[in-house]
Amino acid sequence: MGFFFPSLFALHDAWGLFNLQEAISLPDQLDEATNYIKSLKANLERMKEMKDGLRGLVERANTSRSYGSKSPQIQIQEIGSSLAIALNTGFNSQFIFNETIRIVHEERVEVVNANFSVVDDDTVFHTIHLTTGEPSAAARISQRLNKFVHDVDASNKY
């Protein structure tokens, strides 16, 4: 037992987690603990909201079986060596988003950020931010994505 505690303190000191020479005063420790607990509570609330939102998405997806009545729309904006894609789809058009990501990966372009917002019962707004290595990639990706969305829209009308 006498061996355990000195090695524990040495381990903590090596990681910078515990330093006997720079002991923090008790009020400062309490402030740090309070701030940490507050940040955990805020994080927990955000996660609960996200869980509730996702639960609602799953419930709505399970009640409907079609692609949705909304025609997909896409807007692509080139910003230097980056692309910003705005994709508007029907609620159950996860396929369109997945195929958009697949096309982007086929072009070997880095997806920097991808997210979505549920606008109403039948509209989902996706945003995808990409970084392209070459200028010609932006034109090629724009052409492929516009063709894909047009083909999906045409196939849903017939």
d(CA 73, CA 93): 11
pLDDT at 111 over 60: yes
Name which of 19-33, 65-79, 119-133, 134-148 the model is least confident about: 65-79
**Annotated domain spans of the chain:** 25-63, 73-157
Give the residue among 107, 54, 50, 98 at the shortest CA–CA distance from 72: 98
Q: Which residue has the tokens 């290595």?
A: 133
Q: What are phi and psi of 156, to 5 degrees?
A: -75, -20
156 vs 157, higher pLDDT: 156
Confirm or reject CATH 3.40.50.1820 for domain 73-157, answering yes or no.
Answer: no
pLDDT reported for residue 122 = 80
Whole-model pTM?
0.54
Q: What are phi and psi of 2, to 5 degrees?
A: -65, -30
pLDDT at 56 over 90: no
Q: Are 48 and 41 in contact (CB under 8 A)?
A: no
